[in-house]
Amino acid sequence: MIAFAAVIGYLIGSVPTAVFLARLRGVDLREEGSGNPGSANALRVSGPLLAAPVLLVEVGKGFGSVWIGAAVGDEIGAIAAGLGAVAGNVYNVWYRLRGGKGLGISLGVLAGLWPSVIVPVLVVILLAVLISRSSGIASLVAIAAIIVMAFLWSILEWPTGGAESGPRLMVLAVGIGLIIFWKHWRDAPFTALAHRESPGSG
């Protein structure tokens, strides 16, 4: 049942809703801006009127995956479905495993399984953006913060509002981090600079 929940989550996460919503406005997110089918590129290409619904739908997909996973396999099924949804968004089967960056759908998964961490994570992202002026760096900081917070919640036994703190919460946090890390690491400014300066990159 856990594998079934993960597959359901993956299929939900892989539905290219951002691309569909953008096409309704005459925009192709895979060809414009950064080419990433997500809310950040939607904001860059078409402004908040496209970015807001793209983000809300991604969050809804993550939350919905958790809800369906819970119906299939209780809390473990919910975690499996949530991680599957994030993987489906990032490694999209319909686009040769080239999908979004997974941050929006990850927020939806956290909202379903660990709602008490949402505000702290958003504060961390905001502060990291203000300090670094880079969404890539802010995302990496957020990934690290989620894992550290999972450890703190588990050690201090703070209420999560959803999943049981402890090993399951760590699996959720580390799982999300591992799935989305590469996309955000690749887009961090210091990584892009190193790539440009590496032998043969020019």
Could you tell me if 84 and 13 are in contact, meaning their C-beta atoms sit under 8 angstroms apart? yes
Neighbouring C-alpha atoms within 13 Å toward the C-beta of 27: 26
**CA nearest 14: which of 69, 50, 61?**
61
What number of other Cβ atoms are within 10 A of residue 94's Cβ? 12
Cβ(58)–Cβ(101) under 8 Å? no
Angle of the 48-90 helix axis to the 17-24 helix axis, nearest 10: 150
Per-residue pLDDT 10s for the chain (202 aa) are: 899 999 999 999 999 999 999 998 888 888 888 778 888 888 888 889 999 999 999 999 999 999 999 999 999 999 999 999 999 999 999 888 888 889 999 999 999 999 999 999 999 999 998 998 887 788 899 999 999 999 999 999 999 999 988 999 999 999 999 999 987 776 665 554 344 444 443 3
Distance CA 59, CA 65 (A): 10
Ramachandran region, residue 78 (left: φ > 0; alpha: ψ -120 to 50; beta: rest) = alpha
